Amino acid sequence: MENDDLIVEVLEVYMNYILYGRQVYPSAIFRKRRSFSTFVYKSIYPPLNDYLKSILETVRTLKRIKKLHKVEMILYQNDSILENYIFDIEDLHEIGSDDKYLIEFEENIKRSIAVLEGRLKGLKPLQGDTNFKIVLHTTQSAFVSLAGNKQLEGFPWLKAGDMSPEEKQTATL
């Protein structure tokens, strides 16, 4: 598996885990699955899966052209940000360069999922109708080069200048 594919898979696990752990969606739409030699929760709800698939395909494309800086998951209510989770993609080293069979990588992912689970359990439950969105931090040149990509035709591109003041504090293009 390529480095970019591993990053996409890890992001999918974390995003699903956050949505499950923060109860943004009912727990009934999640099923326990094995990933990275541990059990994780994965959505079985087609509209959510389609949205995540679109985001993750864009992540893969941006990562391959080395134009992805961060991925940010924002939980919000009525245009007010409640929580945000930032995945700093730029600082990731080549996965598997010293770990041919990805054993150490899997162990690190397992530990980080356990830490995430513990931290999510320690948070107060979210009240009311909580929404989420994913923001990809990239460059203007990446946007221009990908704007004509048919696979990303429906992707909701948003320039940082078009965001609310709260979003500008945490997101770029």
Q: Is residue 160 part of a domain?
A: no
Residues 6+ away with beta carbon under 8 Å from 146: 58, 61, 62, 152
Q: Is residue 164 part of a domain?
A: no
Q: Is residue 171 part of a domain?
A: no
Q: Is residue 76 part of a domain?
A: yes
> Tokens 């945490």 belong to which residue?
170
Q: How many domains does the chain have?
A: 1
**Residue 91: pLDDT band with limits 50, 70, 90:** low
Q: Is residue 95 part of a domain?
A: yes
Domain region containing 44: 3-148
Predicted TM-score (pTM) of the model is 0.81
Q: Is residue 162 part of a domain?
A: no
172: nearest Cα among 138, 149, 144, 127: 138
Q: Mean pLDDT, to the nearest integer, of 132-157?
A: 77
Q: Is residue 166 part of a domain?
A: no
Tell me the pLDDT tens digit for each residue of 38-63.
899 999 999 999 999 999 999 999 98
Please give the structure tokens belonging to residue 72. 């940010």
Average pLDDT in the chain: 83
